[in-house]
Amino acid sequence: MSPRNTQFSRDDIVAAAFQLVREEGWNGFSVQAVAKLINSSTMPIYSQFANVRDLEDAVCLKALDLLKERMLTDLTGDRWIDQGIIYVRFAEEEKFLFRALWDARNVDLSKEMGKRFNEFIAATLADYLLFVGLDELEVRMIRLTRMMFAQKLAYWLNVNSNYLKEKGIPELEEYMRRASMAIYHGFRLQFSAESVSATHFCGKGGKNE
């Protein structure tokens, strides 16, 4: 390794690759393009990364870090609703990074990132007030339903920024809040109807004794 090869750190190279993918998608990414961006030959890149795929993986992981960081932003004071809005906005505003996260250039990494992301979100919601007092299956149904709704909305807005407008829905933030609260309160209604009928049953049993 010549000194020239070490003047660029791993982080410098990942940052340059990340910038290319962020602005142009994988089409704009190549070892040559990264080298050009940092004014270097391709040598330092090959000396720091075993192969192109390692560099691609590093770009994906950096995109995941950015998404996770964004997910912690406080928008409305309601963490669960904020996360829905932020996730969908990320898909819309960071079109190429969003695709890099989930479009499975590296299937195993994509799965692993999905798992990590889910764990991260679950941890941030561990003390979320609206879920207190619900049992595990109840929270799971509410969260899974909102998650799939938000994932598909993110997908559509990633593909077409006008998607909601074309569907006659004026505003993402308001729609995300309403849909999330509808899912939440709708399930709560079901849970209380179930516990009322369970109570009735027990009550009746008690009376007969």
> Least separation, in Å, of the C-beta of 79 and a copy of itself?
19
Q: Is the dihedral of CA 77, 78, 83, 89 positive or negative?
A: negative
HSE-CB of 80 using CA atoms within 13 angstroms: 22
**Count of residues binding a copy of itself (CB under 8 A)?**
29
Q: Does 140 bind a copy of itself (CB under 8 A)?
A: yes
Q: Does 141 bind a copy of itself (CB under 8 A)?
A: yes
Separation of alpha carbons 129 and 125, rounded Å:
9
Which of 9/190 has CB closer to a copy of itself? Answer: 190
Separation of alpha carbons 9 and 153, rounded Å:
38
Q: Does 184 bind a copy of itself (CB under 8 A)?
A: yes
Instruction: Report the alpha-carbon angle 110-126-186, nearest 5.
Output: 90
Choosing from 21, 63, 153, 172, the residue that interacts with a copy of itself (CB under 8 A) is 153
> Least separation, in Å, of the C-beta of 152 and a copy of itself?
4
Choosing from 18, 49, 80, 187, the residue that interacts with a copy of itself (CB under 8 A) is 187
Instruction: Give me the helix-helix angle, 52-71 and 107-124, nearest 10°.
Output: 20
Which of 96/156 has CB closer to a copy of itself? Answer: 156
Candidates 97, 88, 98; CA nearest to 164 is 88
Backbone angles phi, psi at 64, to 5 degrees: -65, -40
Q: Does 148 bind a copy of itself (CB under 8 A)?
A: yes
Which of 64/153 has CB closer to a copy of itself? Answer: 153
Burial state string for 79-109 with b = 16 or more CB within 10 A and e = fewer than 16: bbbbbbbbbbbbbbebbbbbbbbbeeebeeb
Choosing from 167, 205, 207, 208, the residue that interacts with a copy of itself (CB under 8 A) is 167
Give the residues lining the site for a copy of itself (CB under 8 A).
136-137, 140-142, 144-145, 148-149, 151-153, 155-156, 167-169, 175, 178-179, 181-187, 189-190
